[in-house]
Amino acid sequence: MSELQEQFEKLGHTITPFGEITDAVLINTCTVTREADADCRKIIRRAQKISPDAFIGVMGCYAQLRSDEISSIDGVDAIFGNEEKYYIPELIGNFKKRNQLGIYVGKLEHIEFHGASSSDNHNHTRMVLKIQDGCDYVCTYCTIPAARGGSRSMKFDDLRNKLLALNQTDFYEVVLSGVNLGEYKAPTGENFTDVIKLIDSLDLKLRFRISSIEPNLVKPELLDVVSRSKKMCPHFHIPLQSGSPEILRLMKRRYKLEIFTNLVQNIKSNIPDCCIGVDIITGFPGETDSHFQETYNLLNELPVSYLHVFTYSKRDGTAASEYPNEVPYPVKIERTHKLRALSDIKKNEFYTSQISKIKTVIPERYDESTGLWQGMTENYVKAFFQNHNQNSLVKVKLLRQELNSVIAEVV
């Protein structure tokens, strides 16, 4: 449950799902791409249509950076920045529709860490736990540091207590998350490797997954601790963004290409069954056909397991938005499609390499038409299997691959 949700429930409010008629709507926004901004505007208009008499508050990253755009949308009563959103009841008093728009967006200079955790699947078996927020990097395409502020982290003692509390719930898996998770630094000095050591030192039934971590932050000690851990899932998701040294330099990423290629090889030699996902951006300004081909060839050759491919979109206020040599939209899209097709190939190769292995799955969803459960193995293989013992970890043997999944049997 998010800190905000908890705060409202304590004040006696009832939280209803989006789409129901209600007295007040609070919309938490994202601004990572142009499409995200457009989606936020659509959702605000939809909320207005569903509950025309409701107080409508808009908060989060888009609100932090573009309160001017939001204020032009009819029906919005208040806009809250990323720090102010934690003080909404104090700021506005009551949730009555207002005659005048209130804008509560301050600078993000001394922003505190606010924890959040939420279920990320329908069956409430996997929990996402935010332990770090904000970012001190200056990647030239990214609005997040401006929208979220500098890096800050959950206190180490709070983390210990949170882990022990989560262990008492029905969740089986915790995804450790943050904007730049590898930069975790507790006020008492502990770093992200210490977080993994803490997890291993506690008597927990939970398994843990790292949401995403920058390549320069997977230091040998961290890789060593993860590879020996009994609780960490063998799965890394690493934002590479481009396989061209020239484009990485323009993006002001904090690593050379060799860091990434060596890392992938090291992960595979330490943890052979490890799943490695990679984020890539296509169509960054100045990305020529030959830069793109470098990216494609690199990912084709490396033992990575899947790609998350994003098409570059220009964000006002970023350094890259001023760069020359924009890539035409159709070219960006074509590159995105090529890499998504490569991702399917890589995923199927990875899944094939896992056939006959015994893995542990958390049943997440039941499909009535097939009578099969779906769940992810510790190394992120999507498996379908027959299961009668619904709420538990299940050991399965991976039998055969089908498109983007594996059929398994309980052992």
Applying CB under 6 A, the span of 71-79, 141-149, 310-318, 345-353 interacting with ligand SF4 comes to 141-149
Q: Looking at residue 86, what DSSP letter applies?
A: G
C-alpha span between 328 and 323 (Å, rounded): 14
Q: Which of 54, 144, 271, 361 binds ligand SF4 (CB under 6 A)?
A: 144
Is residue 304 within the footprint of ligand SF4 (CB under 6 A)? no
182 binds ligand SF4, rule: CB under 6 A:
no
Q: How far is it, in rounded angstroms, from Cα 325 to Cα 246?
A: 14
Q: How far is the CB of 81 from ligand SF4 (least distance, A)?
A: 18
| Cβ-Cβ contacts under 8 Å for 65 (sequence gap 6 or more) | 31, 143, 146, 147, 317
Give whichever of 139 and 339 is closer to ligand SF4, judged by the CB atom. 139
Q: Does 213 bind ligand SF4 (CB under 6 A)?
A: no
Distances 314 to 39, 136, 254, 322 between C-alpha atoms, Å: 16, 20, 21, 9
Total residues found in the chain within this entry: 411
User: C-beta of 365: minimal distance to ligand SF4 in Å?
Assistant: 30
User: Residue 207's beta-bridge partner residues?
Assistant: 173
Least distance from ligand SF4 to the Cβ atom of residue 139, Å = 3
Contact 147, 107 (CB under 8 A): no
Q: Select the residue interacting with ligand SF4 from 24, 26, 40, 142 (CB under 6 A).
A: 142
Q: Does 240 bind ligand SF4 (CB under 6 A)?
A: no
Q: For the CB of residue 336, give the shortest distance to ligand SF4 in the complex, in Å.
A: 18
Estimate the crossing angle of helix 192-201 against helix 156-166, to 10 degrees: 40
Answer yes or no whether residue 363 interacts with ligand SF4 by CB under 6 A: no
Choices 54-62, 134-142, 160-168, 220-228 (CB under 6 A): range interacting with ligand SF4:
134-142
- Tell me the C-alpha distance between 216 and 238, whole Å: 10
Judged on CB neighbours under 10 Å (0-12, 13-18, 19+), 35 is: exposed
Residue from 117, 180, 377, 401 touching ligand SF4 (CB under 6 A): that is: 180
Q: Three-state SS across 173-241?
A: EEEEECCCHHHCECCCCCEHHHHHHHHHHCCCCCEEEECCCCHHHCCHHHHHHHHHCCCECCEEEEEEE
User: Residue from 86, 137, 323, 366 that binds ligand SF4 (CB under 6 A)?
Assistant: 137
The stretch among 10-18, 87-95, 139-147, 269-277 that binds ligand SF4 (CB under 6 A) is: 139-147
Rank residues 129 and 251 by Cβ distance to ligand SF4 and give the closer one.
Answer: 251
> Which residues of the shown chain bind ligand SF4 in the complex (CB under 6 A)?
135, 137, 139, 142, 144-145, 179-180, 214
